[in-house]
C-alpha cells in the first residue's frame, strides 16, 4: 500500500497548514526494523541535491532520476544519477529484491505526477514536493524584451507564486509561505531562478522529512536540516547581484544590506574591467563578512572566482591562483574550483602542482571524470604514459561516455602502435635481430592494435568497454 497525503487541510494559511503537517505523528511500518530502504528522487537540480542530502540517512540507498547531470554534492557525497526512463524499472527491481521503496517526486504546474498505475506495486511510500522558482529576480531569463515591457517585477513574482501553487496542488507539502514578506524579502532566497539558497532548502526539506513517507525513518532530521542550512547548497548558478530596480520594486531588504551593496558595486566594476577599484570594493565587502556570515558564505567564493579570472587576464598568475585557493577553502565541495585551479597550473607548465590540486580535492569530491582527465593530462606532460592512461580510464569509470577521455586513450594507443610499427620496420631492414626478437615485437604490436580497435569500436557504439573483454 502506498502512503501519501490524500487531501489538503482547508481554511488555514499555507504556513499554518505546513506547520500542522510537520507536527503530525506517523507510526512506523512493521517493515522498519529489517528491510533495507531504497529511495528514488525525481526532478530537477532541487531533487538532485535532495538525493545527495539523503545519502546522509543511515541504512538507506538513494538514487536520482532526471535530466540534471551536474555535480551537486552534500558534504562531499552524491547519489548515483540515472536517466528518468530508468525509474519504473529500477523501482520494480528494488521491490523484487525485498526492499522498502520510497519515491520522492518533484511536481510541476503542467506535467502530471507519475501515476500509481505506472509504478504498480513497486513503491511503499511516496512524498511529492513542488518545484520552486524565482524568475521575478531574473525576469530576462524567462521573458522576452517585449514581454518585459508589460510584466513588471511584482507581476513576475505573482506568476512565480501561481506556478508554485499549481505544482503544490499535485504535491504532499506546501511551500507558498516561503514567498511571504518574512522569508522572501528578508533573507536571500535564491542563488538563481531555480536554485534556492540553503535557508529555503532547509525549510522545504524539513517538510519532506516530516511527511508520512519519511518520518518513520530512524535519523536525526533536525541535525540534518541544520547541516543543510550550514552548507553552501547547490554549487553552480550564482546569478547575483540583481538589478537595483527589482530590489526597490519588490522591497527586498536583503538587497539593501551593506554587504550586498558592496558586492553589486564590485560586480559592476569587474564588468567594467576597473580592476583596482573592484579589488578595493571586494576587500571592503569581506570586512563585513563577520557581521553577516550567511551572505559571506553565499557570495565570497564567487567573488574570489571573479577576482581570480580578472587577475589571470591581467597576467598576475600568483594572485589568480591565490584567489582560486580561497574558493577551494570556502567551498571545498565545488568541483569548479579545483578543476580551474589545476588547469591554471597546466597552462603554467606546472603539472606537479596540478596533480597536488587534484589529489587534495579527492577528500571532498567523489571520483569525477573532469578531475581524473586533468590528472591524466598532467601525467602526459610529465611523460608518465601508464599513469596518464590509468587516470583517463578512471575518468571513464566515473563517466563511461566521457568522450574527451576516450579520445585521449585512443591517441595513446595510436602513438604506441606507431612507435611499435617503427621498431618492426627497423628490424625488417636490419640483420642484427634474431627471428625470436622480431616475433616478440610483432606480437606486442598486434596486441596494441587489438586494444586500439577496441577503443574505436567503443566510440562507435557510444561508450567504452575498456577492460570488459579482458
CATH topology of domain 253-384: 1.25.40
At residue 422, does pLDDT exceed 80?
Answer: no
Q: What is the pLDDT at residue 366?
A: 77
81-82 and 195-196: which strand pairing?
unpaired
pLDDT tier at 3, thresholds 50, 70, 90: very low
Q: Which residues lie closer than 8 Å to 48 by C-beta, 6 or more apart? A: 41, 64, 66, 68, 70, 72, 81
pLDDT tier at 260, thresholds 50, 70, 90: confident
Residue showing cell 561516455: 401
Q: Which residues does residue 38 pair with via DSSP β-bridges, in sequence order? A: 61, 101
Q: What is the pLDDT at residue 344?
A: 92
Cβ pair 212, 26 in contact under 8 A: yes
Phi, psi angle pair for 128, to nearest 5°: -110, 135
Phi, psi angle pair for 220, to nearest 5°: -85, 90
Q: What is the pLDDT at residue 365?
A: 81
Q: In CATH, what number does 14-230 get?
A: 3.40.50
In angstroms, rounded to a whole number, what is the distance separating the alpha carbons of residues 101 and 218?
A: 15
68 vs 94, which has greater pLDDT? 94
Q: Which residues does residue 126 pair with via DSSP β-bridges, in sequence order? A: 103
The neighbour count for residue 434, using CB atoms within 10 Å, is 10
Phi, psi angle pair for 191, to nearest 5°: -75, -40
Q: What is the pLDDT at residue 447?
A: 67
Q: Sign of the C-alpha dihedral, residues 162, 164, 165, 166?
A: positive
Question: Tens digit of pLDDT for each residue in 350-399?
Answer: 999 999 999 998 888 878 888 999 999 999 999 999 999 999 988 888 77
Q: What is the pLDDT at residue 240?
A: 87
Task: Please report, to the nearest 10 degrees, the dihedral formed by the alpha carbons of residues 430, 434, 438, 440 taken in order.
Answer: -150
Q: What is the pLDDT at residue 121?
A: 87
Q: What is the DSSP letter of 429?
A: T
Q: Report the range of poorest mean pLDDT among 38-47, 86-95, 99-108, 113-122.
A: 113-122
Residue showing cell 524584451: 145
100-107 and 125-130: which strand pairing?
parallel
193 vs 278, which has greater pLDDT? 193
- Give the ranges where 70-197 is alpha helix by DSSP (H): 87-96, 116-119, 145-148, 153-168
- The separation between the first and the last C-alpha atoms of the chain, rounded to the nearest angstrom, is 46
Question: Tens digit of pLDDT for each residue in 159-201?
Answer: 999 999 999 999 999 999 999 888 899 888 999 999 999 989 9
Question: Tens digit of pLDDT for each residue in 64-89?
Answer: 999 876 768 888 788 888 889 999 99
Q: What is the DSSP letter of 29?
A: P
Q: What is the pLDDT at residue 327?
A: 86
At residue 202, does pLDDT exceed 90?
Answer: yes
Q: What is the pLDDT at residue 33?
A: 42
Q: What is the pLDDT at residue 4?
A: 46
Q: What is the pLDDT at residue 108?
A: 95
Q: Report the range of poorest mean pLDDT among 93-97, 99-103, 153-157, 265-269.
A: 265-269
CA neighbours within 13 Å on the CB side: how many for 334? 24
Average pLDDT taken over every residue of the chain: 81
At residue 306, does pLDDT exceed 90?
Answer: no
pTM, rounded to two decimals: 0.70
Cis bond before residue 241 (omega within 30° of 0): yes
Q: What is the pLDDT at residue 408?
A: 86
Q: What is the pLDDT at residue 5?
A: 41
At residue 428, does pLDDT exceed 90?
Answer: no
Task: For residues 248-255, give the mean pLDDT.
Answer: 93
Q: What is the pLDDT at residue 7?
A: 37
Question: Tens digit of pLDDT for each residue in 22-51?
Answer: 333 334 444 444 579 999 999 999 999 999
In angstroms, rounded to a whole number, what is the distance separating the alpha carbons of residues 276 and 394?
A: 42
CA neighbours within 13 Å on the CB side: how many for 8? 17
At residue 413, does pLDDT exceed 90?
Answer: no
Total residues belonging to the chain: 470
Q: What is the pLDDT at residue 232?
A: 81
In angstroms, rounded to a whole number, what is the distance separating the alpha carbons of residues 48 and 25?
A: 28
Phi, psi angle pair for 121, to nearest 5°: -100, 30
190-192 and 195-196: which strand pairing?
antiparallel
pLDDT above 90 coverage of the chain, percent: 44
Element (H, E) at 127: strand 125-130
Q: What angle do CA 48, 52, 54 make, to 5 degrees?
A: 110
In angstroms, rounded to a whole number, what is the distance separating the alpha carbons of residues 49 and 53?
A: 6
Task: For residues 431-435, give the mean pLDDT.
Answer: 48
Nearest to 47 by CA among 81, 18, 8: 81
Q: Which residues lie closer than 8 Å to 194 by C-beta, 6 or more apart? A: 44, 45, 46, 131, 132, 133, 134
Q: What is the pLDDT at residue 225?
A: 94
Q: What is the DSSP letter of 3?
A: B
Residue showing cell 533536525: 222
At residue 14, does pLDDT exceed 70?
Answer: no
Q: What is the pLDDT at residue 421?
A: 59
At residue 468, does pLDDT exceed 80?
Answer: no
Q: What is the pLDDT at residue 334?
A: 81
Q: What is the pLDDT at residue 233?
A: 83
Cell of 137: 529576480
Amino acid at each position: 500500500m502506498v502512503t501519501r497525503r490524500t487531501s489538503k487541510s482547508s481554511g488555514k494559511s499555507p504556513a499554518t497548514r505546513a506547520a500542522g503537517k510537520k507536527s503530525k505523528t506517523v507510526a512506523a511500518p512493521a517493515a522498519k526494523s529489517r528491510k533495507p530502504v531504497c529511495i528514488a528522487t525525481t526532478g530537477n537540480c532541487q531533487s538532485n541535491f535532495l538525493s545527495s542530502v539523503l545519502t546522509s540517512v543511515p541504512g538507506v540507498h538513494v538514487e536520482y532520476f532526471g535530466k540534471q547531470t551536474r555535480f551537486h554534492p552534500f558534504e562531499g557525497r552524491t547519489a548515483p544519477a540515472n536517466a528518468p526512463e530508468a525509474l519504473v524499472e529500477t523501482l520494480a527491481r528494488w521491490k523484487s529484491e525485498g526492499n522498502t521503496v520510497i519515491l520522492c517526486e518533484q511536481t510541476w504546474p503542467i506535467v502530471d505526477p507519475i501515476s500509481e498505475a505506472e509504478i504498480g506495486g513497486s513503491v511503499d511510500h511516496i512524498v511529492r514536493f513542488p518545484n520552486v522558482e524565482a524568475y521575478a529576480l531574473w525576469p530576462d531569463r524567462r521573458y522576452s524584451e517585449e514581454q518585459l515591457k508589460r510584466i513588471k517585477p511584482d507581476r513576475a513574482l505573482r506568476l512565480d507564486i501561481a506556478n508554485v501553487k499549481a505544482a503544490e496542488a499535485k504535491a504532499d507539502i506546501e511551500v507558498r509561505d516561503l514567498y511571504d514578506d518574512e522569508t522572501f524579502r528578508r533573507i536571500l532566497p535564491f542563488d538563481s531562478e531555480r536554485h534556492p539558497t540553503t535557508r529555503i532548502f532547509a525549510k522545504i526539506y524539513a517538510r519532506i522529512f516530516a511527511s508520512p513517507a519519511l518520518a518513520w525513518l530512524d535519523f536525526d532530521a533536525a541535525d540534518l536540516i541544520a547541516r543543510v542550512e550550514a552548507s553552501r547548497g547547490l554549487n553552480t548558478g550564482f546569478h547575483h547581484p540583481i538589478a537595483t530596480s527589482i530590489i526597490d520594486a519588490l522591497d527586498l531588504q536583503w538587497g539593501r544590506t551593506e554587504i550586498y551593496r558592496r558586492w553589486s558595486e564590485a560586480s559592476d566594476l569587474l564588468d567594467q574591467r576597473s580592476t583596482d577599484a573592484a579589488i578595493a570594493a571586494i576587500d571592503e565587502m569581506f570586512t563585513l563578512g563577520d557581521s553577516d556570515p550567511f551572505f559571506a558564505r553565499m557570495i565570497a567564493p564567487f567573488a574570489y572566482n571573479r577576482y581570480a579570472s580578472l587577475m589571470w587576464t591581467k597576467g598576475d598568475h600568483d594572485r589568480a591562483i591565490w584567489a582560486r585557493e580561497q574558493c577551494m577553502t570556502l567551498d571545498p565541495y565545488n568541483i569548479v574550483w579545483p578543476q580551474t585551479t589545476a588547469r591554471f597550473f597546466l597552462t603554467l607548465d606546472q603539472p606537479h602542482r596540478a596533480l597536488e590540486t587534484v589529489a587534495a580535492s579527492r577528500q571532498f569530491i567523489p571520483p569525477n571524470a573532469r578531475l581524473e582527465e586533468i590528472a591524466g593530462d598532467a601525467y602526459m606532460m610529465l611523460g608518465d604514459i601508464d599513469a596518464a592512461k590509468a587516470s583517463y580510464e578512471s575518468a571513464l569509470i566515473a563517466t563511461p561516455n566521457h568522450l574527451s577521455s576516450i579520445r585521449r586513450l585512443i591517441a595513446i594507443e595510436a602513438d604506441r602502435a606507431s612507435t611499435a610499427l617503427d621498431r618492426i620496420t627497423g628490424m625488417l631492414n636490419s640483420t642484427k635481430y634474431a627471428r625470436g626478437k622480431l616475433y616478440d615485437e610483432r606480437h606486442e604490436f598486434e596486441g596494441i592494435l587489438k586494444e586500439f580497435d577496441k577503443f574505436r569500436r567503443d566510440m562507435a557504439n557510444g561508450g567504452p568497454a575498456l577492460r570488459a573483454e579482458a
